[in-house]
Amino acid sequence: MDTNHNDLFAQRDMGIYVHIPFCKQKCMYCDFPAYQNLEEYYDTYIYALLQEISMFGDSYPQARTKLVDTIYFGGGTPTELSLLQIEQIIDTIQRTYTLSNDCRLTIESNPEEIDKSYLKGLHTLGFSRVSFGVQTFNDTSLMFLHRSHNRKAAIDAVQWAAEVGFTDINIDLIYGLPKQTIDEIKENLAIVSTLPINHISTYGLQVERGTRLYHLVAKDLISLPDEPLEDKMYETMMQGIQELGFERYEISNFAKGGAYSTHNLKYWQYCDYLGFGAGAHSFFEGVRRANNRNVMPYARKIDCFEFPIVEEEIIDQQRAIEDYCFLALRTKWGINTITFSEKFNVTLESIYDSTLQDLIEKNLILHEGNSYHLTPEGAKHGNYVFSQFIEG
């Protein structure tokens, strides 16, 4: 029997994501909504963003009373903004929504673009967690990627963040770069071991259509590591991070001492979140929405008091089950069969029995207690496993 749509998505808490689509310079592999040389539009954008935050609360008054327990400033590079602009955004969120007493604020940053006093200012504004887009500490690779920082700036940024009081510090690390070596990955991990970092997000380089990297690869001007070498990089990274005492709690995310990304857990645990800004995504009461990625079309829509939405999808029970399964499988907790039955009014096995048995036989998932979760081999072939839960 289908669960009522409102019951299915009734939730007490939610997260808020704020997208700042500006960067000092565009990295060669990046296909995010992130643009360089738009300084003259910053004020217009902030004005639109503040409007959007308020407008959503006016149009969906039930959102105002939900407890917001995570706020995440992502990008782009949110630290391109002044402290005053960031404060204005936080104030508008506070005036419009209900923040929990322990609401956790995270901000993404690029190491080159901050100094100690700016970080101190962020901490004073209430941020306790900072996520640095380090990628690698190797200067040659950083230059190749067209990143704006170097190794020293990355190390300084992490140390300053800890000195001014950030309790949670994440860095992003990348593998699979052209000319990257296993030794570079090991050196990166050796540097991590000396720094006050308690969270790492790691991912393999993806060649996305339309990026500068895509064109260089297409023209054979750059070659990527072959599959055996990339596999070795993956193993070195995954094993090395865990040897440093980090727990792999999500397929690409590692934490020390339980310092999980509570905001990203909202996505993986199928919770509500509101996304504001160009290219931001929301999931609220069973409806997914995506905003226009481009800064001026986004701002112009809001100027006309319209939401800048380019995609909207009402999630039915079938789709909710599929999403729930593959998102839960990304985490170490996997799919809890009791939670699943309570949520969907049907047992997991009654829908996916043959899929589950097949994946167990292939050593890609394990059934332990009330949970089905990925094996290390399953984590390596995550996309294949997830696709088995989605109706073709």
Distance CA 275, CA 290 (A): 8
Q: How far is the CB of 261 from ligand SF4 (least distance, A)?
A: 17
User: How many other CB atoms are there within 10 angstroms of residue 18's CB atom?
Assistant: 24
Binding of ligand SF4 at residue 27 (CB under 6 A)?
yes
Which residue pairs from 289-292 have beta carbons closer than 8 angstroms and sit at least 24 positions apart in sequence? 289/313, 291/19
Instruction: Identify residues 86-125 at the interface with ligand SF4 (CB under 6 A).
Output: 110
Binding of ligand SF4 at residue 76 (CB under 6 A)?
yes
Query: Per CB under 6 A, which region of 23-31, 48-56, 275-283, 300-308 contacts ligand SF4?
Result: 23-31
Binding of ligand SF4 at residue 26 (CB under 6 A)?
yes
Binding of ligand SF4 at residue 32 (CB under 6 A)?
yes
Binding of ligand SF4 at residue 299 (CB under 6 A)?
no
Q: Whose Cβ is closer to ligand SF4: residue 94's or residue 211's?
A: 211
Binding of ligand SF4 at residue 302 (CB under 6 A)?
no
Taking CB under 6 A as the criterion, the residue among 30, 142, 280, 325 binding ligand SF4 is 30
Binding of ligand SF4 at residue 136 (CB under 6 A)?
no
Alpha helix positions (H), 172-261: 182-192, 212-218, 227-243
Taking CB under 6 A as the criterion, the residue among 70, 77, 141, 180 binding ligand SF4 is 77
All residues at 6 or more sequence positions from 13 whose CB lies less than 8 Å from its CB, including other chains? 66, 67, 68, 69, 100, 271, 272
- Three-state SS letters, 30-85: CCCCCECCCHHHHHHHHHHHHHHHHHHHHHCHHHHHCEEEEEEEEECCHHHCCHHH
Q: Is-contact 195 158, C-beta < 8 A?
A: yes
Q: How far is the CB of 167 from ligand SF4 (least distance, A)?
A: 24
Q: Whose Cβ is closer to ligand SF4: residue 76's or residue 334's?
A: 76
Query: Per CB under 6 A, which region of 21-29, 78-86, 221-229, 310-318 contacts ligand SF4?
Result: 21-29
Q: Whose Cβ is closer to ligand SF4: residue 111's or residue 378's?
A: 111
Query: Per CB under 6 A, which region of 70-78, 242-250, 255-263, 295-303 contacts ligand SF4?
Result: 70-78
Q: Whose Cβ is closer to ligand SF4: residue 142's or residue 238's?
A: 142
Tokens of 385: 């496993």
Tokens of 202: 């790691």
Instruction: Decide: helix, strand or coil at residue 201.
Output: strand
Query: Per CB under 6 A, which region of 75-83, 114-122, 227-235, 240-248 contacts ligand SF4?
Result: 75-83
Residues binding ligand SF4: number (CB under 6 A): 11
Taking CB under 6 A as the criterion, the residue among 57, 111, 133, 277 binding ligand SF4 is 133
What is the per-residue DSSP string for 72-124?
EEEES-GGGS-HHHHHHHHHHHHHHSEEEEEEEEEEEE-GGG--HHHHHHHHH
Q: How far is the CB of 311 from ligand SF4 (least distance, A)?
A: 21
Distance CA 53, CA 124 (A): 22
Distance CA 233, CA 202 (A): 11
Q: How far is the CB of 390 from ligand SF4 (least distance, A)?
A: 28
User: How many other CB atoms are there within 10 angstroms of residue 100's CB atom?
Assistant: 13
Interface residues with ligand SF4 (CB under 6 A)?
23, 26-27, 30, 32, 34, 75-77, 110, 133
